[in-house]
Amino acid sequence: MRARPDQFDMLTPLVAWVEQGKAPTAIIAAARGAGTNVVNTELPADWSADRTRPLCPYPKTAAYVGDSIESASSFACR
């Protein structure tokens, strides 16, 4: 099994949803690469330390739509 981006803030979007009625469309997860407080040693050598991915609400999943494979903005929840 390959490592996945595993750092994300779920609390801030949840607070915005409850207090402001803004339901999250996706939450961005980041890899714990070099330069972070706790490095994920399972990251493959060919991954950028800045890799991000969207976490999509069920039943949607992240689909690659083009551009940099390292950036969450290159994926859409579908």
The DSSP string of 13-59 is: HHHHHHHH----S-EEEE---TTSSS--TTS-TTS-TT-EEEEPPTT
pTM, full prediction = 0.77
Q: How far apart are CA 7 and CA 28, in angstroms?
A: 8
Q: Residue 58, class by beta-carbon neighbours within 10 Å (0-12 exposed, 13-18 middle, 19+ buried)?
A: exposed
DSSP reduced 3-state for 78: coil
Spans of all domains in the chain: 11-77
Percent with pLDDT over 70 in the chain: 87
Q: Give the model's confidence band at 35: pLDDT under 50 very low, under 70 low, under 90 confident, else very high.
A: low
Give yes or no for residue 78 having a pLDDT over 90: yes
Neighbouring C-beta atoms of residue 45, cutoff 10 Å: 4
